[in-house]
Structure 1
Amino acid sequence: MNHTTTEEAKKAAKPLTPKINELIERSKSVLLATVNAEGTPNSSYAPFVHIDKAFYILVSFMAKHTQNLADGRKTSVMIIEDESATKQIYARERLTFEATTTNVERDSETWNAVVGKLREAHGKVVDVIADMKDFILIGLHPVKGSYVNGFGSAYFVNENLEILEHRNDQNHQSK
């Protein structure tokens, strides 16, 4: 089986950056992987909006992941193609990145703008939960990550979610 060379993959990588943006635009929630103070992992999800290179989520302290996010612990974020839309379950399109977190001050200019965008994206329920005192607004800021667009099509991405290079110069190997 003849696979694409690393140089060919690098040349083909740039057109994939818009595909990352399309995946983000098609998605309504992010998957979250966090750890608590003892290092115990927790996975969850949250609806989001993407504004100025950050992903914003409105989350409750009743959820385990919220304290982990608020404390600025290690966080991994994934946006993944819907199972019902994929042609191949083993090769779902996905963007995964490490992120730093920021807490957005309630009733600040940023809070009001982002909550407005969340309302536009996810409906009036946002008004209800934004008024609850246990909900906080967290910014997720990409550091580095990867984008997968099928078998042998995996790329490193930077903090701006731009393709850097092909992730595996050896590709998948047959027996």
Structure 2
Amino acid sequence: MNHTNSQEEANRKAKPVAPKVKELIDRTKSVILATVDAEGVPNSSYAPFVQVNNTLYILVSFMAKHTKNLADGRKTSVMFIEDESATKQIYARERLTVEAAASQVERDSEIWNTVVTRLKETHGKVVDVIAEMQDFILIALQPVKGSYVNGFGSAYFVDENLEILEHRNDVNHQSK
């Protein structure tokens, strides 16, 4: 194998720079949520979020199905995904999908106040209004594990800290 081929192989196997995951999160204002109810019926939705340390926080209303599912501590998955209008290839949109443990944050606790302040800074004065509504609760989404994809053949496992662990697909796609 010549130097050019070995360099191409090394580039293909190289992990993406860890800040790429952070950059995707930083340029996203809301997360896509996947939850299930007590009967196992799936529900997809979205919610504006902020990240404090390694935890994602969403302020959501009990009028939404996903809120009860999250408040009951059921399994959830969150997704950050590149805007369709910005992608060069719709089949290879950059995305981060994370399994997360959901827990409710006590109203008016120190973390509640910190996160609501961050939500206001990020999403505006509407947070002042909804944070006062009693049907809105603050949910902490603690990442467990997930995957990051940033193109064809470029899929990686991520850990609870949203750090790249390893290349996810060592087997190439098969053609007919």
TM-score (norm 1): 0.93
Distance 2:11 2:149 in 1: 16
Given residue 58 of structure 1, which amino acid in structure 2 is its aligned partner?
A: L
| 2:165 aligned with 1:164 | yes
The answer (yes or no) to whether the contact 1:9–1:166 under 8 Å persists in 2 is no
The answer (yes or no) to whether the contact 1:28–1:47 under 8 Å persists in 2 is yes
1:29 paired residue number: 30
Given residue 126 of structure 2, which amino acid in structure 1 is its aligned partner?
A: V
Identity of aligned residues (%): 76
Cα offset for 1:8? Answer: 5.7
How many residues end up aligned between the 2 structures?
170
5+ unaligned residues in a row in structure 1: which ranges?
Answer: none
Sort the Cα spacing of 1:21 and 1:80 in 2 relative to 1 into closer, same or farther, 3 A: same
2:64 paired residue number: 63
Deviation digits for residues 93-141 of structure 1 (CA, Å, limit 9, x no counterpart)? 0000100011100011100000000000000000000000000000001
Alignment partner of 2:18: what SS? helix
Distance 1:84 1:131 in 2: 35
Bigger radius of gyration: 2
2:88 paired residue number: 87
Deviation digits for residues 132-166 of structure 1 (CA, Å, limit 9, x no counterpart)? 00000000010000000000000000000000110
| 2:146 aligned with 1:145 | yes
Deviation digits for residues 73-100 of structure 1 (CA, Å, limit 9, x no counterpart)? 0101100001111111110000001000
Distance 1:174 1:127 in 2: 54
Within 5 A, what are the aligned runs for 1:6-155? 9-10=12-13, 12-13=14-15, 15-155=16-156
Higher relative contact order (CA 8 A, sep 6+): 1
Distance 2:12 2:167 in 1: 6
5+ unaligned residues in a row in structure 2: which ranges?
Answer: none
